[in-house]
């Protein structure tokens, strides 16, 4: 998505700020589409509750892929 592309272009701290402004559905979609580096940083720096809500919205395979990518770090 365009938002994921933008987040990948921002500094990681800026990406967290923008991610925090997204509604839950858009945050979930964006988390699934950003680069592994960006998703890892977001997951490590956004409140756990927000990440859990985003992962719950995503299809199971997308959520599992994100968790696996973060686990590889």
pTM: 0.89
Structural contact between residues 36 and 69, judged by C-beta atoms closer than 8 angstroms: yes
CA angle 6, 52, 2 (to 5 degrees): 15
d(Cα 21, Cα 67) in Å, to the nearest integer?
A: 22
pLDDT digits (tens, 9 = 90+) for 26-59: 999 999 999 999 999 999 999 999 999 999 999 9
The count of residues in the chain is 73
Per-residue pLDDT band at 73 (split at 50, 70, 90): low
């Amino acid at each position: 998505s365009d938002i994921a592309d933008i987040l990948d272009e921002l500094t990681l701290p800026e990406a967290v700020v923008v991610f925090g402004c997204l509604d839950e559905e858009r945050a979930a979609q964006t988390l699934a589409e950003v680069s592994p580096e960006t998703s890892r940083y977001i997951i490590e720096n956004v409140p756990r509750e927000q990440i859990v809500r985003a992962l719950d919205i995503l299809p199971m395979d997308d959520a599992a892929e994100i968790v696996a990518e973060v686990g590889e770090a």
